[in-house]
Amino acid sequence: MLPRSTNRDTVRLLCKSILTRLENQKSISLPVRLRQIVQEEVYNMVGPYILTEEDLRERTLARMGARAEMLQDTKFSESDQYKAAKAVIRATFGDDELNGFFFQKPIKVVAETVRQYLMRSSHIDDVYETDEDLDQMIVDMIKRFDPNAAH
């Protein structure tokens, strides 16, 4: 199956998936009426650290636009220019690309950010895991998240 292109909604689904799994595994508890608020707060915290295929495409097109005059005199087609610009931008992410997400911070830092939120949020009733266990659980959830299966 071909990977589905990721976008901001896919990042929202990732955040929702993490919280749902933590709840289902009885690692956290929160009032049902606050679930949407918690999901939105987690998204707002980690969303800026996770770029998507759509974000990459926008950055590539912006980079191409900035260099369009220089590229006009070359023998490259527009498609070749796009592929080259995309490869340059994609290379800046190194090993922090996973399932169509491009992490601006290491996945472990993203997991720690989520955990710190869970520990201090007034919307969370209780957290039943140690910091280390919660960090590892969130990292594993991020690594196993499949945008193709998200709905």
Residue-range definition of the domain harbouring residue 105: 8-144
Note whether residue 150 is domain-resident: no
Structure confidence at residue 70 (pLDDT): 54
| pLDDT at site 122 | 96
Residue 1: inside a domain, yes or no? no
DSSP assignment of the chain equals -PPPPP-HHHHHHHHHHHHHHHHHTTSEE--GGGHHHHHHHHHHHHGGGEEEHHHHHHHHHHHHHHTHHHHHTSS--HHHHHHHHHHHHHHTTTT-EETTEEESS-HHHHHHHHHHHHHH-TT--EE-S-HHHHHHHHHHHHHH--TTT--
The pLDDT score that the predictor gives to residue 38 is: 98
Position 2 in a domain: no
**Residue 149 within a domain:** no
Model pLDDT, residue 60 = 75
Which pLDDT score is estimated for 1? 40
Would you place residue 136 in the very low, low, confident or very high pLDDT band (cuts 50, 70, 90)? Answer: very high
Cβ-Cβ contacts under 8 Å for 19 (sequence gap 6 or more): 28, 35, 38, 39, 42
**53 versus 132: which is more confidently predicted?**
132
- Per-residue pLDDT at 2: 40
pTM of the model: 0.80
Q: Has residue 126 been placed in a domain?
A: yes
Number of domains composing the chain: 1
